[in-house]
Amino acid sequence: MPAPHRLLIATGNAGKIRELRTLLNDARWQLVTPADAGVADLEVIEDGDSFRANAAKKARAYANASRLPALADDSGLEVDALGGAPGVRSARYAGDSATDAENRAMLLAALDGLPTEERGARFRAVVALSFPYGPNVRFGEGTVEGRIAANERGDNGFGYDPIFELADGRRMAELTSDEKNAISHRGQAVRDIAWALESLTAALPHDPHTDAGGRDD
């Protein structure tokens, strides 16, 4: 079997890295993190007005810095009662340095007193695939519908998972990894872009760094 091609997971978010490693479990790709590729210090300002714009910006920046194909994710929560907020600011809803717990607390406070039927929300994800030797960016998208519960429940997942309630009454944070990956917005987005990974694998130049005995210069 040919040596796998390296694919950079363009995020420093440990939760996203875990999910993407599971979703991209393909022998044709050797998944590497920014730390593995020597670009852990790269900072990309997510100032786009959409998940698509931010994902594309991150993918291009990491691909150019690492000289590797890069897959970036931008995702977040859209709450109907808040006009789609927190949206692209989901990770920074309570401030640029806010923790997941602080973001959840601020959202629960914003929705305090709203009845169940007015707490509709969705997770939305866009993944972008960029190559350092080409201008085009490929995209995959996914959404999962639900609502914001009045309290937290569940120990799995990250971000807003403990307060995101699915149609069956379970919180996203109560799902196993396999259950979450089967239905999640990020899982849908990765499956949506699988055609691009499939069609481009054969076209990629040989990557000597994945050979036995190879090294990074």
Q: What does each of the 217 residues of the chain score in pLDDT, given as a tens digit?
A: 556 788 999 988 888 888 888 888 776 788 899 999 999 999 999 999 999 999 999 999 999 999 999 999 999 999 999 999 999 999 999 999 999 999 999 999 999 999 999 999 999 999 999 988 777 899 999 999 999 999 999 999 899 999 999 999 999 999 998 999 999 999 999 999 987 777 666 555 555 454 333 223 2
Inside any domain, residue 215 = no
Cβ contact 160:152 at 8 Å: no
Q: What is the pLDDT of residue 213?
A: 31
Gap between the Cα atoms of 74 and 90, Å rounded: 10
Gap between the Cα atoms of 103 and 96, Å rounded: 10
Inside any domain, residue 161 = yes
Place of tokens 């076209």: 203
26 catalytic residue (yes or no): no
Q: Which of 150, 126, 151, 149 is nearest to 138 (CA)?
A: 126
Inside any domain, residue 187 = yes
Gap between the Cα atoms of 41 and 35, Å rounded: 8
Inside any domain, residue 213 = no
Of 74, 100, 155, 192, catalytic: 74
Gap between the Cα atoms of 6 and 208, Å rounded: 10
Q: How many domains does the chain have?
A: 1
Inside any domain, residue 68 = yes
Inside any domain, residue 208 = no
Inside any domain, residue 116 = yes
Domain that holds residue 62: 5-202
Domain harbouring 85, CATH code: 3.90.950.10
Gap between the Cα atoms of 108 and 105, Å rounded: 5
Inside any domain, residue 217 = no
Q: What is the pLDDT of residue 214?
A: 29
